[in-house]
Amino acid sequence: MTERVGIPRAVDSAGRTFDRTAIERVPQPFDGPLRCAGCTTVVQAVHGYPRRNGTLVDPYYRLTHRTEAPHDPHCRYDFDARVGRLHEEHRSALTKDGDVYELRLPETDTAPPGAALLADTRSDGRDRLTIHPRRGHTLAPVLSAAAAIAAMISTYDDDPQARARFAARWKGERIAWEDFYFDVAQDARRLARVVAGRDHPVAVSGHVKRVGRTARDTADVVELATGRGVTHPPNGRWIHVRLMSKAPGALPREVGQRVLGYGRWEHFEPEDSDNHYVNLWVDHASSVTTTR
């Protein structure tokens, strides 16, 4: 049984809104009674505490009574109701296993015959694997569900308890959400580590920073914004996250647009450069979508 997801914000009697960090301040800055920041229901502040295994639970706000004093209908911080609606809306891509909602990922295959235009090799010399959905299958439900889950977790300020309620399932393996979905503005280092150490597909979200061509003019390149000065320890190389394609029209072209790319990303460290590249080769437009 996973722990319940707490309410991230509350409003005090003076109408002021407070996040979780206010709970641990001494003295506490809010005046009671508190109510949920998403509805009118009264809530309580709960201090952070250690679990028996030594990990810490962050402070949060909770209902005074789940059944007698629930959230108002359609409250954005009613996690149980929201995750139920999300599951129903994305039932074609999501399954429920206990308290965890799993995103079912399509398997990958090697490039089909006639795909010479897209042929490439990995930096380690192995044949590159690309995403080729089975006939009749589309990546749209997977990308749509992934974006919806990420938006919901963001509503809860990326609460670890909220993340723990979601995972991805690929070839029978359950993948923790933090090892599957990455916002490059915050997670570029972790993305680089996961791509270098594991082989499963991942979903990467970010704003388009630059649109152009490779140095040898062989492919389109879209670079995502990672923030200023993001390096990959221990060698200190600069991390660049890029979508690449030889298929005309497969990549977005608008700088500043937020996109989500899914597939088997790969890493590459040129010997004559201080850069660490994390690349996704895109062979069809359905591997990339725009998001808000």
- Tens digit of pLDDT for each residue in 252-264? 889 999 999 999 9
> Do residues 120 and 244 both lie within one domain?
yes
Residue bearing tokens 């359609």: 74
Full-model pTM: 0.83
**Residue 210, in any domain of the structure:** yes
- Specify whether 55 is located in the same domain as 161: no
Q: Tell whether 33 is covered by a domain.
A: yes
CATH code for the domain in which residue 192 is found:
2.40.50.140
More confident residue, 111 or 32: 32
- Do 18 and 141 sit in the same domain of this protein? no
Over the stretch 23-60, which tens digit does the pLDDT of each residue have? 999 999 999 899 999 999 999 999 988 878 777 888 99
182: CB partners within 8 A, 6+ apart: 188, 190, 191, 194, 202, 203, 204, 205
pLDDT of 187 above 60: yes
> Is 234 part of any domain?
yes
State whether 41 and 164 are in the same domain: no
At 65-76, the pLDDT tens digits run 988 999 999 999
With beta carbons less than 8 A apart as the criterion, state whether 149 and 203 touch.
no
**Residue range of the domain that includes 185:** 116-290
135 versus 288: the higher-pLDDT residue is: 288
Quick check: is 87 in a domain?
Answer: no
171 and 271 fall within a common domain: yes
Domain shared by 18 and 148, yes or no: no
Residue at a domain's end among 48, 63, 78: 63
CA distance 133 to 188: 27
Q: Is residue 191 in some structural domain?
A: yes
Question: Do 56 and 157 sit in the same domain of this protein?
Answer: no
Residue 271 near residue 237, CB atoms below 8 Å: no
Residue 105 lies in a domain: no
The strand pairing partners of 213, in sequence order, are: 220
Judge whether 246 lies within some domain. yes
Of 41, 63, 85, at which residue does a domain stop? 63
Which of 30, 46, 63 is the last residue in one of the domains?
A: 63
Dist. CA 267–CA 229, nearest whole Å: 18
Q: How confident is the model at residue 88 (pLDDT cuts 50, 70, 90)?
A: very high
Query: How many structural domains does the chain have?
Result: 2
Among 158, 106, 108, 151, smallest CA distance to 130 is for 108
Q: What percent of the chain has pLDDT over 90?
A: 65
Q: Is residue 82 part of a domain?
A: no
Do 166 and 261 share a domain, yes or no? Answer: yes
Question: Do 236 and 129 fall into the same domain?
Answer: yes
In this structure, are 58 and 175 located in the same domain?
A: no
Return the minimum-mean-pLDDT range out of 45-54, 164-173, 224-233, 237-246: 224-233
Residues 30, 125 within the same domain: no
166 phi and psi angles, rounded to 5 deg: -130, 150
* Helices assigned H by DSSP within the chain: 79-89, 140-155, 160-163, 184-197
- Asked if 265 and 154 sit in the same domain, the reply is yes
User: Measured at the alpha carbon of residue 27, what is the angle toward residues 21 and 28, in degrees to the nearest 5?
Assistant: 45
